[in-house]
Amino acid sequence: MIKRVTAWIDYALALAVLLGAWWFATGPMAMPTYLLPSPARTWNALAGIAMSGELWLHLGFTMQNIVLGLIFGLVAGIALAYVMTRFPKLAIWLDGPLVILQTAPKIALAPLFVVWFGFGILSKIILIFSLVFFPVFIGAVAGFRTLDPKMKDLSKLLGLGNIQRFRQIELPSAMPEIFVGLKIGAVQALVGAVLAEWMAGKLGLGYLMTFAGATYKTPLLFAAVLLTAVLGLLMHVVLTLLENRLLSWKGAKR
Amino acid sequence: MAQSERMIDIAGVHKTFVADHGTVTALEPVTITIKEGEFISIVGPSGCGKSTLLRLISGLDHASGGTITLDTAGRKRPVGFVFQEPVLLPWKTVLENVRFPLDTAGVSRAEADRTALDLIKMVGLAGFEKALPRQLSGGMRQRAAIARSLSDDPPILLMDEPFSAVDLLTRDTLNDELLRIWQSTGKTILLVTHSVEEAAYLADRVMVMTARPGKLKCVHDVDLARPRGEETKLDMAYHALVAQLRRDLRTSGGSDEGTH
């Protein structure tokens, strides 16, 4: 408990120093606003779009895409990994294509996704999905493959059906590795979401950035960048909480 | 204990594996009848097929030939199995682990809880219902595993070197507890072990197996009074049997001096 409090104090102090340096650069050092807007101006820009409701539209859009991409990527990654460990023949067949897809830089495919799937939400979710899928898939394969063979004996002795075995034994025991993949995927998802919005559409934090940049609204650009950072932090916190809850049985983590 | 009914009928059961260089005989034909409520120890060196025999009886593996008949009246889960390691689900508490066979069989929560709590008490884990496996010692985990194997009340309990991973003192205690559990439940128990002392101390009959190829060498009746305890270990008959088992294991395969 005391440890946690001191950790928070440390965080707050670091943040305060950063904020102080920022204020110093814009105030006493008089950096021009188009290069570095002051904290107050940035705050005003943020408050402005928050009041007008525009902010929530953009933020909501980005978050919705990330959440959908994460869910689809998670489910598909686990599903394919499971099918491949159950049917090793399939794994041999799919190995080559998967390696090619995995090593291809998904960011470079982003324009192609726009061509294929349009300017709307579909191409964005597909980009995020492609970024989330592989880390989850690789984690899940590792998780399913390291299953204790004695656990298989146990499920056979108890006569568990396929669904029972998956839900009660295989999925929970692969969960630690799946989570490693998911956490990597979540960072990628944010990158993918912002990038997709840079390229096309009129919504999202990424769009807000390109709009602010193109119209020299540096305080707004700053606000959007900071929001993205906060969003990333938020996702990290949510996933860590979820991990602590789901994997508390592993014990001795932090 | 009524020891009239045949519980396990093993007739000419053998097992061969296909390896890289031809087939390997894991178990030469075994024939034996085990009565209801009997406690059988199976003793032998590594590679004698004792674990294989247990896996065949449990249905985990299939025999290459011969038949195994269990008098368990078409039960879905005729045997409980205790492995060398506890094989508990690490994300479930002791209570949830013990209840697991009942939960997956669709038994109501209230009934499953009642059964599981009784078993937890019987194996001496009362107070640890909510503990996770990692919070328990090796011996306690194995107790939980025994409770789980008994939770859906199988007539047969198969134990594959259940206490080989715990220290000797704990092992002695667990052996006594196992005898107590056996006496109060009337299960038919087959226990595989490396230890001739353990085999003689626990069983009604000891099956001696030898390696390469794995085969049943002989079966000894154990005529030691029950209930057994510390005084059993002072009994001359006990020491004679232990010595005989040692000799059986030392003189390799070949000879066919079936004492029984």
- Whether B228 maps to a domain, the answer reads no
CA distances from B73 to A26, B25, B31, B151, B159 (A): 85, 31, 21, 18, 22
Check A158 against B83: CB less than 8 A apart: no
Contact B249, B45 (CB under 8 A): yes
Residue whose entry in the numeric block shows the structure tokens 């038949």: B67
pLDDT-flagged residues of chain A (< 50): 253-254
Dihedral through CA A189, CA A194, CA A200, CA A205, nearest 10? 130
- Note which residues in 41-60 of chain B have CB less than 8 A from chain A: 58-60
Position B257 confidence tier, pLDDT thresholds 50, 70, 90: very low
B20 and B114 together in one domain: no
pLDDT at B86 over 70: yes
Residue B2's pLDDT is 43
Q: How many domains does chain B have?
A: 2
- B35 in the same domain as B141: no
- Measured CA distances, B204 to A44, B171, B184 (Å): 87, 19, 16
**What does the alpha-carbon distance between residue A222 and residue A233 come to, in Å, rounded to a whole number?**
17
Which residue of A151, A168, A173 is in closest CB contact with B104?
Answer: A168
Is B12 a member of any domain? yes
- Least confident segment among B1-10, B32-41, B205-214, B238-247: B1-10
pLDDT given at position B252: 60
Nearest CB partner across the interface for A158, out of B85, B101, B135: B101
Q: Specify whether B162 is located in the same domain as B245.
A: yes
For chain B, what is the mean pLDDT?
90
Instruction: Determine the distance in angstroms separating the CA of B117 from the nearest CA of chain A, rounded to an integer.
Output: 20
- Above 60 in pLDDT, residue B259? no
Verdict on whether the full-model pTM lies above 0.90: no
Q: Which of B133, B153, B173 is the last residue of a domain?
A: B153
The distance of B70 to chain A (nearest Cα, Å) reads: 15
For A125-170, give the DSSP string.
Answer: HHHHHHHHHHHHHHHHHHHHHT--HHHHHHHHHTT--HHHHIIIII
Same domain, B66 and B166: yes
Of B77, B89, B90, the CB nearest to A159: B77
- Beta strands B6-19 and B22-35 are antiparallel
Which of B135, B153, B171 marks a domain boundary?
B153
Which domain range does residue B142 map to? 88-153
**B85 and A CB contact within 8 Å:** yes
Contacts of B59 in chain A (CB under 8 A): 156-157
d(CA A219, CA A173): 48
CA angle B156, B162, B164 (to 5 degrees): 155
Q: Delimit the domains of chain A by residue range.
A: 65-247
What pLDDT, in 10s, does the model give residues B183-234? 999 999 999 999 999 999 999 999 999 988 888 999 999 999 988 999 999 9
Tens of pLDDT along B98-131? 999 999 999 999 999 999 999 999 888 999 999 9
Same domain, B170 and B238: yes
> What is the reported pLDDT for B1?
42
User: Distance between CA A73 and CA A183 in Å, rounded?
Assistant: 12
The answer to whether the CB of A235 falls within 8 A of the CB of A186 is: yes
Which residues, including other chains, have CB under 8 Å from residue B22's CB and lie 6 or more apart? none
Interface check for B250 against chain A (CB to CB < 8 A): the answer is no
User: Measured between alpha carbons, how far is B194 from B208 in angstroms, rounded to an integer?
Assistant: 10
| CB-based contacts of B92, cutoff 8 Å, min separation 6 | A249, B100, B132, B133
Does position B90 have pLDDT exceeding 90, yes or no? yes
Binned at pLDDT 50, 70 and 90, residue B158 comes out as: very high
User: Both B142 and B100 in a single domain?
Assistant: yes
- Counting residues of chain B whose pLDDT is more than 90, the rounded percentage is 73
Residue in chain B closest to A249 (alpha carbons) equals B91
Chain B 158-197, CB below 8 Å of chain A: which residues? Answer: none
Res B146 pLDDT > 90? yes
Q: Is the pLDDT of residue B254 over 50?
A: no
**Cross-chain residue pair A172–B89, CB shorter than 8 Å:** yes
Top CATH class of A65-247 equals: mainly alpha
Q: Which three-class secondary structure state does DSSP give residue B57?
A: helix
A136-155 residues touching B, CB cutoff 8 A: 148, 150-151, 153-154
What CA–CA distances, in Å, run from A62 to A43, A225, A229, A250? 21, 13, 13, 33
